[in-house]
Amino acid sequence: MQYAFLAYTPPEETDRATRPIPGALADLFDQPDVTGWARLHAHESATTLRNDEGRMLLTDGPFIDSKEYLAGLILIEADNLDRALAIAEGMLQETRPGTAIEVRPVLAGHFRGA
């Protein structure tokens, strides 16, 4: 099965774009289980387009207004939820305190090489 990890992290002081992915985490992204990943700019960079009964509304900022922001998407292949959770746990250990990973089974998708 394919799972998507949605990683939420608390706000930080330093500029995210200038910080590299921590080495241990980068190694985990290189595992064969990981089929794709995307690290996102902090939520100040977000723009939300919303379908309001046919009218397209454009707003500045992320859709979900919370302290934590969506920092990345990781796609993995795992036999079942337990295995997916184990992978997520390994990654979470290499993140800053307060980070959370939401694990979602992928219903369908098409992933081109990056």
Partner 1 sequence: MALDAVFRDQWGRVLATLVGVLGDIELAEEAVAEAFAVAAERWPHDGEPANPTGWLVTTARHRAVDQLRRRQVLAAKTKLLARDIETGPQPPEPLMDDTVSIPDERLELVFTCCHPALALEAQVALTLRTLGGLSTDEIALAFLVPFETMSKRLTRAKHKIRDAGIPFTVPPDHQLPDRLAAVLSVVYLIFNQGWGGGRVDLAAEAIHLGRPLADLMPDEPEVLALLALMLLHDARKAARLRDGELVPLDGQDRSLWDTRQIDEGRALLRRAMTQRRTGPYLLQAAIADLHLYQPRDWRQIAALYERLARRTRSAIVEMNRAIAVAEIDGPEAGLTVLDRLDLDHYRYFHSTRAELLRRAGRDGEAHRAYRRALDLAQTEPEQRFLAERLAETARYDRTEHDTTGR
By the criterion CB under 8 A, which residues form the site for partner 1? 1, 3, 78-82, 84-85, 103-105, 107
Amino acid in position 39: R
Which residue lies nearer to partner 1 by CB, 46 or 85?
85
Which residue lies nearer to partner 1 by CB, 43 or 83?
83
Burial of 82 (0-12, 13-18, 19+ CB in 10 A): exposed
Distance of closest approach, residue 75 Cβ to partner 1, in angstroms: 15
Classify residue 53 as left (phi > 0), alpha (psi -120 to 50) or beta.
Answer: left
Which residue lies nearer to partner 1 by CB, 50 or 104?
104
